[in-house]
Amino acid sequence: MIEKNLLSRNGCLLDALMAISSAPGHVVFIVDDTKELLDVLNAERIREMLAAGHSIDEPLSLFIGNHCPSVDEKGVIDGDEGRFACLPVVDSGRRVVGCYKTKTHKAIPLTEPLLGIKEFGYLAEACLSGWISSGGHYIGRFEQSFADYCGAKHGVAVANGTVALHLALLALDIGPGDEVIVPDLTFAATINAVLYTGATPVIVDIDDSWCIDPDAVRAAITSRTRAVIPVHIYGQACDMDALMAMAREHGLAVIEDCAEAHGAECSGRRVGSIGDIGCFSFFGNKIITTGEGGMCTTSFPELETKMRILRDHGMSRTEKYKHAVIGYNYRMTNLQAAIGVAQVEKIEQILMERSSIETTYRYQLSDFVELVFQQDFSNRKRVVWLMSLLVPEQQRDSLIDSLKMRNIDSRPFFCPLSRMDLYRGYAHNCRYSVEVANRGINLPTFPKVDVLAVTNAFKACIKPTGRAAIPLN
Ligand SMILES: *Cc1c(COP(=O)(O)O)cnc(C)c1O
């Protein structure tokens, strides 16, 4: 049955791609006329060739021979088996005589949404109803059920998390001349939204929760400071008790960036219900998803009304086509909201599964005293978005590369804003965030992930040194 894995060297990349699609294990062995092994290819390798600028009609002979793991007749593997679902078994003359199934072949993505029949059912219903734009009953249902979940009075569904942040800033009348304090360790959307308004972002350091440091916020407050955007990073709630007290004292607005922390809590209140406005993302890799999507939550009816008007072209809510302000089209579709309603119904299950994945990771990696996991704080309840940890700085990038060689996706922490030319000028001293970002890695986290496959690969890439983690100084 190895015939389906064999491909003559005379073809082109397209021939290989077609053969790969029907070959067992989606791997082909390139051979010459005597069945002597020349190369092993799968779709990932073809993709790499195309990404490197080659075209699909180039002859295979151009690529042959630079990567060719195989197995001898005794079962001894020569080369890195990690990238392929199966490898050629070769005889002493390197002729292919069989096919060996490898164990570590399955590609593991960083994350996968948990979508099922419920999402599909609601989506189909929304489709068939004809309400596929921003009318339709799923929008209101999604807004209310998600706001209820967060413990906020109102939800305003929007097109994505970035425009949720922009809408929140606009509703609070933040603009040129104002300063808005943001943490250094975040996704760029947080600061970009501030820049859209013409306000000046002020970037401050994080603390050992990896969230914005309340002391750094206090030190950055000036007479122009209007708002602070605490980002609940990697599922960790910020110290909202300290931040809210400070905001009240100085008359600052608080916009929570909750894009990575649906369901996290501080002092018994869910994020999105603590500050003036909470901003959520439902992008495909977030805790719950609508494909693209976002929501602003608030318990202030005047902020809710303002956000609804600005979201809908600035149109008067009583007189159609009368515009009193320059608005935006930041609406979500009923199709997305249909998926969102189903996701809210299972958010507890999703959070539980993610949390148990983290528990398994921590157990499996408990031999490594040099690793630093996220901390838990007595006044906060963390949720798990992506398994997040710090590894020794000099090993971080090689670990990501080695995992990739084994078809396992992982990613480094966000690049601190203060380390990018675009934003550097807005930054205060941000020592911790730079150190955390240089050591941080996210591992695959989604309900069906094979944690052991990841931790085994992790252990094959780095060995415990027995030396304790270097504390953040
Ligand atoms: C994902 C994310 C956003 C932006 O959300 P989108 O829906 O992708 O626009 C904003 N802030 C943080 C911290 C995020 O992780």
Residue 67 has pLDDT above 80, yes or no: no
Contact 374, 362 (CB under 8 A): no
Q: Which residues contact 294 (CB under 8 A, 6 or more apart)?
A: 157, 158, 159, 160, 161, 162, 163, 164, 259, 279, 280, 281, 282, 332
- Report the C-alpha gap between 1 and 130 in whole angstroms: 50
Residue 6: in which H helix or E strand, if any?
A: strand 6-8
294 C-beta closer than 6 A to ligand 1: yes
Mutate to test the pocket of ligand 1, among 191, 203, 260 (most ligand atoms within 8 A of CB): 260
Average pLDDT of every residue of the chain: 93
Highest mean pLDDT among 30-44, 68-82, 213-227, 402-416: 213-227
Atom of ligand 1 nearest to the CA of 193: 10
- Per 3-state DSSP, the chain is made up of helix, strand and coil in percentages (nearest 5) of 40, 20, 40
Q: How many angstroms does the Cα of residue 283 sit away from the middle of ligand 1?
A: 7
pLDDT digits (tens, 9 = 90+) for 186-226: 999 999 999 999 999 999 999 999 999 999 999 999 999 99
211 φ/ψ angles, rounded to the nearest 5 degrees: -100, 170
138, two tokens: 């799923």
Which residue type does 320 have? K
Q: How many angstroms does the Cα of residue 312 sit away from the middle of ligand 1?
A: 21
Share of the chain above pLDDT 70, in %: 97
259 C-beta closer than 6 A to ligand 1: yes
pLDDT at 320: 85
Contact 297, 315 (CB under 8 A): no
Residue 14: in which H helix or E strand, if any?
A: helix 13-22
Which residue type does 439 have? R
Mutate to test the pocket of ligand 1, among 187, 229, 336 (most ligand atoms within 8 A of CB): 187
Specify the residue with its C-alpha closest to ligand 1, atom 10: 189
pLDDT at 66: 63
Highest mean pLDDT among 4-8, 380-384, 455-459, 461-465: 380-384
252 C-beta closer than 6 A to ligand 1: no
CA neighbours closer than 13 Å in the CB half-sphere of residue 287 = 30
**What is the Cα 58 distance to its own chain's centre?**
36
Q: How many angstroms does the Cα of residue 164 sit away from the middle of ligand 1?
A: 9
189 C-beta closer than 6 A to ligand 1: yes
pLDDT at 78: 85
For residue 452, give Cα distances in angstroms to 67, 159, 352, 363, 456.
27, 37, 18, 10, 6
Atom of ligand 1 nearest to the CA of 293: 7
Residue 82 has pLDDT above 70, yes or no: no
- Report the C-alpha gap between 441 and 411 in whole angstroms: 6
289 C-beta closer than 6 A to ligand 1: no
Residue 275 has pLDDT above 90, yes or no: yes
Q: How many CB atoms lie within 10 A of CB 369?
A: 12
Residue 237 has pLDDT above 80, yes or no: yes
Q: Does 119 or 85 have the greater pLDDT score?
A: 119
DSSP assignment letter at 332: P
190 C-beta closer than 6 A to ligand 1: yes
- Report the C-alpha gap between 428 and 426 in whole angstroms: 7
pLDDT at 249: 97
- Report the C-alpha gap between 192 and 330 in whole angstroms: 16
pLDDT at 420: 97
Residue 31 has pLDDT above 70, yes or no: yes
pLDDT at 49: 85
445 C-beta closer than 6 A to ligand 1: no
DSSP assignment letter at 81: G
Q: Does 139 or 100 have the greater pLDDT score?
A: 139
Q: How many CB atoms lie within 10 A of CB 113?
A: 21
pLDDT at 403: 92
pLDDT at 406: 85
Contact 256, 268 (CB under 8 A): no
pLDDT at 62: 83
Residue 465 has pLDDT above 80, yes or no: no
CA 132-166-337 angle, to 5 degrees, is: 25
pLDDT at 334: 98
- Report the C-alpha gap between 301 and 303 in whole angstroms: 5
pLDDT digits (tens, 9 = 90+) for 306-360: 999 999 999 988 888 889 899 999 999 999 999 999 999 999 999 999 999 999 9
- Report the C-alpha gap between 221 and 242 in whole angstroms: 14
Report pTM: 0.81
Atom of ligand 1 nearest to the CA of 232: 13
- Report the C-alpha gap between 433 and 234 in whole angstroms: 14
DSSP assignment letter at 73: T
231: helix, coil or strand?
strand
- In SS3 terms, 404-469 reads as HHCCECCEECCCCHHHCHHHHCCECCCHHHHHHHHHEEEECCCCCCCHHHHHHHHHHHCCCCCCCC
Residue 146 has pLDDT above 80, yes or no: yes
Q: How many CB atoms lie within 10 A of CB 249?
A: 10
